[in-house]
Each structure stands twice: as structure tokens, then as C-alpha cells.
Amino acid sequence: MNRLVVSFLLLVGCLASAAPRQDPQDPQPGAVLFEDVRIFDGKSAQLSGPTNVLVRGNKIATISTAPIQVDGSATRRIEGVGRTLMPGLIDMHWHTMFVRPSHTEILVWDLGYANLVAGAEATDTLMRGFTTVRDMGGPSFGLKRAIDEGITAGPRIYPSGAVITITGGHGDFRQTFEVPRILGGPLARMELAGASMVADSPDEVRVRVREQLMLGATQIKLTASGGVASPHSPLDVSTFTEPELHAAVEAAGNWGTYVSVHAYTPASIQRAIAAGVKCIEHGQLMDEPTAKLMAERGIWLSTQPFPDEAAKAFPPNSQEHAKALAVIAGTDRTYTLAKKYKLKTAFGTDILFSQSQAQQQGAMLTRLVRWYTPAETLVMATGTNAQLLAMSGNRSPYTGKLGIVEEGALADLLLVDGNPLENIQLIADPARNLVVIMKDGRIYKNTVPEVSAKR
Ligand SMILES: [Zn+2]
């Protein structure tokens, strides 16, 4: 054998030994039986009658109003006593790596430390009942792998990898002394960290998109308008040209997935749609013709009701603070338009730079009742969000249906002490009201007293 073949075989051997690990103290359960629960299934506005649900491995095996016969010793029984069983919540705009560090800290952080902080936050995220997040920018591939291997408890992650931006665009966090950029020259700090990449032509965009796909991105994120947290981009600007956006759409499409863009203004949203972009993030400055266009083309709107406190992440009187206030002011009109034109609307929080705001992740969802019923709100954060996740096609890292309670679906389940369709505020206090949190068939929290197996 020549040396090349030998080293190839050695490499295959190394990869094969990197099998997923799980904590031996907490083995994957054989089966879990939820007895006497009422189901919110992720699509219906009503709870089911009293029902039993059997989970085997990582999937929902049986849903039945009749008693389910199980092997008593190998099955954990959870006495529901009429509590609500629902799908795990999904946050479609999350930044796993940027939740806890401050705005300035992310530019100087040590990546090893940052991953440990993000891991701790991922565990808290799961404990708030969010069993899946779509990461809309940041170096989350390593954390995702550690979670999938059972090393760290956290949600499923659909990573975008680095945000792709233009020079001066949202996500270009360079200092002015780093300009001019030498084409083909050294990378900036944020690029080396995998947080964001600058691309200024269709060719550069293609390279950056393909790099994220190579690393495991499930969708691609570009910034098509100015942004709040970036130092050099005014809110009103359009950034990428249509050919640049199209280069990203083509590269992602070749990989079987889609591009989502950060965009606030009508001009930037319309240009992105013309280039073939399938999902708009935020959209808080949109107008009526833009909403109409999105409806006609079946474009997703992934947005959030930013609370007034979100502006407090920035120094008072700073440009960032003023931009945050403008976006917050547009929230009501955007949701009104989304409802009027029946836009496919996903929910994501986009909580950044604040552990205390992250603790309000569930509370932020409940703010949607200003525009939607509690049932519509919870359908959005489960079944509807999962439809947008499914746009990743074969690039989805997880096999099976998410966001829904039905036989054969992945067992990401919450047992709620009460009826969230009547009282959605239950979701705002997960420590108290989420009595069971299950992801992939594994129980991460259970405060319901165990039933003896003898019954
Ligand atoms: Zn974001």
C-alpha cells in the first residue's frame, strides 16, 4: 500500500472512533410512558382528552386513549394527572455563542472560555423548555457537536456558522484602523473566530458560503441591511448587491438548503427576494407592498417582539441605542402586516449579550399574545417553526419530525403543570411550570414523583 492509502485508512479509523458519547450515569431510557396527559400537539388550538403517550428510544411510539401495555421494569412511568404534554419549544433566531458575553467582550474573548460559557447557557436554554434553536450566526459547530454527543446538555442546534456581511455591513465589527482590507490578506479577529466573514463580490460570497456549508451549516445567513449592534452600518442602508445575494442563494441551493437574510427595510427585503432568498429575519421596518410581495412569493418572516429593555444593551445616547429604539417602534406594524397578509411567520428571540434577558426567553414568546391567541403563539413556536427548520432538507442534522406530538415524531416533549392554551404565562416561568423536559427521548428534568413499577 502506498503512503497515501495508509494515511487515508488511518484517518477513517480516527473518524470512526469518534462515536457519540453519553453519560454512563444517565443511559438512554428504554421507554417512558406518560399517563393521563392532555396533548397540545403543535398544530391544533385545542388540547386532547386524557391520553397516554409511550416514548421508545428517541421517538414517540404510541399515542392512545386506551391504556398502553408496557414491560413494567424497563419503562419509566410518569403520572400526568391531566397535565399538558406539548412539543419542546423552538427558537428560530438564537446566537448560542453570543448570549452571555457583552457586546464588547466578543471582540476580545478567548474561544475556549467562550465555548464553556456558551455550553452553560445551552444547558439553561434547554431547561427553559427550548429543545431546538436555529443559530443565526456564530461559531456554534463545536458546541453543537458536544451537545449531540451528550457531553453537554443543550438544545438541538441548526447552525448557520459565520454571518456573511459586506465591508461596513452588519456583522463587520472591525475597527476603523483595520481599513483598508487587503484582498487576500490576513483575516480580521471576528473572521478568525468564525463569528462573521466579510465578502465583497459574488466570488467572495461563494467562497464564504461554501466554507460554512463545509463546516456543517444547515442554512446560510447574510446581512442584507444595516443592523442595530454593528458600529458602521446605518439602519436604512442596503448592503449586498443582487448578484452577490444570488451567488449565496445558488451555492446554498446546490447544497439543498436556503439563505436567510437579516433585513429591516423594504428595499433590502425586496432585493433579497429578487435574488431568491427564502427567509427574512426581523423585517421590523417593512411596509405594506413588501408584506404583499412576501405573501405572493411564500417568503418566510422570522421575527420577534423586541422588548423596550433590548435597547438597554447599548450605552444611552449611542447610535446603537437609537437604532434599537427605531426597530422596537416598528414591531407592531410588522406583526399587524404579517397577520393581515397571512405571512408564514416564525418566532425567534435574537437575545444577545445578556444572561438576564436570556432568562426571559419564554417570557418573550408570551409577548406575542398582543397579536396572536395563546394557541396561535404556541403553534408558531413549535409546529410552524419546525416547518422552517425542515427547509434545511437533507442538511438537517436530525432525522425525524420536530415541533409536533404524533406517533413517529422525535420525542422532544414538555410536561406543563397547567394548560398553556388558557394561561400562556406558564411558559414564562419554566423552573416552576415545566415539570418534565425531554429531548430526543432523554429526560433532562422530572419533578413529578415516580410511580412504583408494580402497579
Ligand atoms: Zn441575530
Cα–ligand 1 centroid distance for 98 (angstroms):
9
Distance 350 CA to ligand 1 centre (A): 5
> Can you state the angle between helices 288-297 and 266-274, rounded to 10 degrees?
20
pLDDT tens across the length of the chain (455 residues):
455 444 544 444 444 444 444 444 455 557 999 999 999 999 999 999 999 999 999 999 999 999 999 977 789 999 999 999 999 999 999 999 999 998 778 878 899 999 999 999 999 999 999 999 999 999 999 999 999 999 999 999 999 999 999 999 999 999 999 999 998 899 999 999 999 999 999 999 999 999 999 999 999 999 999 988 777 889 999 999 999 999 999 999 999 999 999 999 999 999 999 999 999 999 999 999 999 999 999 999 999 998 777 788 788 888 889 899 999 999 999 999 999 999 999 999 999 889 999 999 999 999 999 999 999 999 999 999 999 999 999 999 999 999 999 999 999 999 999 999 999 999 999 999 999 999 999 999 999 977 654 44
Distance (Å) from CA 440 to ligand 1 centroid:
26
How many Cα atoms are found within 13 Å in the side-chain-facing hemisphere of 384? 19
Centroid of ligand 1 to alpha carbon of 70 (angstroms): 45
Compute, in angstroms, the gap from residue 22 CA to the centroid of ligand 1: 31
Cell triple for 292? 404583499
DSSP structural state of residue 229: S
* Rounded Cα–Cα distance for residues 412 and 159 (Å): 19
> What is the per-residue pLDDT for 28?
56
> What's the pLDDT at 153?
98
Q: Using only the alpha carbons of the chain, give its radius of gyration.
A: 22
Question: What residue has cell string 442595530?
Answer: 228
> How much distance in Å is there from the Cα of 222 to the middle of ligand 1?
10
Q: What is the dihedral of CA 178, 180, 184, 188, to 10 degrees?
A: 20
CA 106 to centroid of ligand 1, rounded, Å: 14
Cβ contact 401:131 at 8 Å: no
Half-sphere exposure (Cβ direction) of 448: Cα atoms closer than 13 Å = 28
Distance 274 CA to ligand 1 centre (A): 22
CA of 146 to the centre of ligand 1 (A): 23
pLDDT of residue 15: 44
Distance 286 CA to ligand 1 centre (A): 17
Angle in degrees, 0-180, between the axes of helices 242-254 and 266-274, rounded to the nearest 10: 50
How far does residue 102's CA lie from ligand 1's centre (Å)? 14
In the reported structure, the alpha carbon of residue 120 is separated from the centroid of ligand 1 by a whole-number distance in angstroms of 20
Q: What SS3 state is found at 93?
A: strand
In angstroms, what is the span from residue 159 Cα to ligand 1's centroid? Answer: 12
Distance (Å) from CA 443 to ligand 1 centroid: 30
For residue 29, what pLDDT is reported? 58
Cβ atoms of 209 and 201 within 8 Å: the answer is no
How far is the centre of ligand 1, averaged over its atoms, from the C-alpha of 95 (Å)?
7
pTM of the model: 0.93
> 221 C-alpha to center of ligand 1: Å?
9
